[in-house]
Amino acid sequence: MQVVKTDEERRWLMERTIPRIPTTRMKVLSQMLELIGYGDASLWTAIALNLHDYQYNGPDPDMAPSKYESKEEAAYDATKLISGIIKYVEAIKPRIKWSEELENALKALRGLGVKSN
């Protein structure tokens, strides 16, 4: 795995790579993000990728193409993911350039009725 060593590499990662990365490379990117201080990025990415598979395959009682046997199992993980996103955004909000657009997106997440723990 490639390690980010300089501020220039970190900037490139945040501004160029993250917005354009295909799902097949998200796991390694999340690991790189953890190495530069972004908490549990690989854990949240794993849940997001499982939900992505579910989006295309639906529930699967045999659990072959989808990791979820039922809609309720997927909803549980979706709720956990959203609450994790809310918690993370609230933690970094003071450290980033915050805009009205970001505030509206955060309000929309909160409006889903999910509470961050």
In a domain, 15, yes or no: yes
Distance spanning both ends of the chain, measured CA to CA: 32
Q: CA 112, 44, 90, 103 torsion: positive or negative?
A: negative
Tens of pLDDT, residue by residue over 13-67, are 777 777 778 888 889 888 988 888 888 889 999 999 999 988 888 887 776 777 8
Q: What pTM was estimated for this model as a whole?
A: 0.71
User: What confidence score (pLDDT) does residue 1 get?
Assistant: 65
pLDDT, averaged across the chain: 84
Rounded CA-CA distance 99/94 in Å is 12
> Into how many domains does the chain fold?
1
Domain membership flag for residue 97: no
Q: Is residue 105, in this structure, part of any structural domain at all? A: no
Determine, yes or no, domain membership for 81.
Answer: no
Q: Which domain holds residue 34?
A: 1-39
